[in-house]
């Protein structure tokens, strides 16, 4: 069970450490069901921290998003750790970044928050529209307890659970320096209904499904920027010299953008669902990623982001790997 007192105490102790730069956790947002990442440097800010079914953001993104500015002449580089609160899925992003040597183990202090599944923001905002004051939400047995301004409401878990959580197999952090409370039992079986549904369609139908989506993309790059695995300092899709995709917004360039991103995530996507959540145009980007996750799992029995000591997918060749797709 979530122990908010413990979470706050650990946070206070953590930011008081000399070797910690700041702690990244979640805080209640400015209205309704929104939350925002909290960058905490002072112990007194611990009271702002929350952990609830609202805490959907994968904060591991910030480990690589923070700009690395040149160290001023004569100054020492800041090597202090970043403390990071993680759910199960989020922890896999940290592990995958470690596997890829995108971050160093000493640079991060992982605070594990076993998670019972978070809310789908769109669904909850649709069910309870127009709520201005920030709403507190708690986990109950098989339900969410939503403390609306005019009293609590209970909603069955399945009704509001985020899509990424419906089939979660890793609700507990797979790696942590501190685990805040008892682990929960995993409920997912790893089946992907959305992928299956698309796979059953013919290629023409599949293309028209994606065409409609990609056409509506505005290329705001929220999907890429929110993705904890998209951390290249110089993204190949931004590069002008040589230029792989044009800045023009059209079906052709947009498709290349999304497919290139999906392929760059093969064997790396840890299914936190951030790309899909942050998309202002509502593109089902996880369907694309899950298809590739499924291929990698079915064909190579490989799952990323589980063991920091393991090798990346692309460099873990085995002589008996399938090769029947090679023409």
Partner 1 sequence: MDSKKLTKDKFGGFIDLLSKQKLYVPQMAGETLRFAPVDSKDEVNLVFSNTAVPPKSVLFPQTETLYEYEAGGTEMIIPEGPEEKVLLGVRPCDARALTIVDKLFSWDIDDPYYLKKREATTIIGLACQEPGINCFCTSVGGGPASTEGLDLLLTDLGEGYLLQPLTEKGEKLCQDAGELLVDAAGEDNQAADKVHQEAAEKIVRNINVDGIPQKLEDLWESPLWKKVSDACLGCGACTFLCPTCHCFDIQDEMEGFEGRRCRVWDSCMFKEYTLHTSGHNPRPTRRERTRNRVNHKYSYFVKNFGTIACVGCGRCINNCPVNIDILDILSQVVKEAL
Partner 2 sequence: MNDNLNPYKPEIVTVEDTWFETQGDRAIKTLKVVFDDEEKRESWEHRPGQCAMIGVLGVGESMISISCSPTEGKFLRFSVMRAGKVTQALHELEPGDKMTVRGPYGNSFPVDDWKGKKILTIGGGIGQAPLRPIIEYVKANRGDYEDLTMIYGSRTSADLCFKKEFEAMRERDDVNIHLSIDIEEEGWPHYVGFVPSLLMEVNPSPENTIAVTCGPPVMINFVLQNLKKLNFADEQIYTTLENRMKCGFGKCGRCNVGNLYVCKDGPVFSYATLKAVPEAFA
Q: Does 101 bind partner 1 (CB under 8 A)?
A: no
What would the x/- binding string for partner 1 be over residues 37 to 76, using CB under 8 A? xxx-----------------x---xx--x-x-x-------
Distance CA(80)–CA(82), nearest Å, equals: 7
Q: Does 213 bind partner 1 (CB under 8 A)?
A: yes
Return the residues of window 112-131 that contact partner 1 according to CB under 8 A.
129-131
The distance in angstroms from the start CA to the end CA of the chain is 52
Interface with partner 2 by CB under 8 A: which residues? 240-241, 243
80, 78, 82: which is closest to 111 by C-alpha?
82
Q: What is the largest CA-CA distance in the chain?
A: 63
Q: Judged by CB under 8 A, which of 8, 23, 32, 270 binds partner 1?
A: 32
Closest approach of Cβ 186 to partner 1, in Å?
A: 27
- The three-point CA angle 149-150-153 to 5° equals 95
Where b means 16+ CB within 10 Å and e means fewer, 164-187 reads bbbbbebbbbbbbebebeeebeee
Closest approach of Cβ 284 to partner 1, in Å?
A: 8
* Number of other CB atoms surrounding residue 208 within 10 Å: 11
Residue 61: contacted member of partner 1, partner 2, none (CB under 5 to 8 Å, by partner type) = partner 1
- In the complex with partner 1, which residue's Cβ is closer, 77 or 319? 77
- The three-point CA angle 277-28-56 to 5° equals 25
SS3 77: coil
SS3 168: coil
What would the x/- binding string for partner 1 be over residues 130 to 149, using CB under 8 A? xxx-----------------
- In the complex with partner 2, which residue's Cβ is closer, 68 or 73? 73
Q: Does 251 bind partner 1 (CB under 8 A)?
A: no
Which residue is it, tokens 């790997």? 321
- In the complex with partner 2, which residue's Cβ is closer, 240 or 326? 240
**Interface with partner 1 (CB under 8 A):** 29-32, 34-39, 57, 61-62, 65, 67, 69, 129-132, 212-213, 215-222, 224-226, 238, 246-250, 274, 277-278, 280-283
């Amino acid at each position: 069970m979530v122990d908010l007192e413990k979470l706050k105490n650990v946070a206070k102790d953590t930011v008081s450490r000399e070797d910690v730069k700041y702690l990244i956790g979640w805080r209640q947002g400015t209205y309704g069901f929104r939350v925002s990442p909290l960058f905490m440097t002072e112990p007194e800010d611990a009271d702002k921290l929350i952990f609830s079914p609202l805490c959907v953001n994968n904060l591991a993104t910030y480990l690589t998003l923070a700009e690395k500015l040149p160290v001023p002449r004569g100054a020492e580089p800041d090597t202090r750790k970043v403390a990071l609160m993680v759910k199960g899925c989020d922890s896999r992003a940290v592990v995958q970044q470690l596997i890829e040597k995108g971050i160093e183990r000493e640079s991060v202090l992982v605070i594990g928050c076993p998670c019972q599944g978070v809310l789908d923001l769109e669904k909850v905002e649709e069910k309870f529209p127009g709520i201005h004051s920030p709403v507190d939400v708690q986990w109950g047995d098989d339900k969410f307890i939503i403390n609306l301004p005019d009293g609590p409401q209970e909603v069955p878990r399945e009704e509001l659970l985020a899509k990424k959580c419906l089939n979660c197999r890793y609700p507990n952090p797979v790696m942590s320096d501190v685990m805040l409370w008892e682990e929960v039992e995993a409920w997912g079986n790893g089946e992907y209904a959305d992928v299956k549904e698309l796979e059953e369609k013919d290629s023409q139908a599949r293309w028209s499904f994606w065409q409609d989506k990609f056409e509506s993309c505005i290329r705001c790059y929220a999907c890429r920027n929110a993705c904890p695995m998209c951390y290249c300092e110089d993204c190949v899709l931004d590069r002008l010299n040589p230029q792989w995709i044009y800045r023009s917004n059209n079906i052709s360039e947009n498709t290349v953008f999304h497919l290139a991103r999906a392929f760059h995530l093969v064997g790396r996507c840890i299914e936190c669902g951030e790309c899909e959540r942050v998309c202002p145009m509502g593109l089902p980007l996880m369907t694309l990623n899950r298809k590739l996750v499924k291929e990698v799992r079915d064909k190579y029995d490989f799952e990323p982001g589980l063991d920091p000591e393991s090798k990346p997918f692309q460099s873990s060749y085995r002589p008996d790997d399938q090769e029947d797709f090679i023409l």
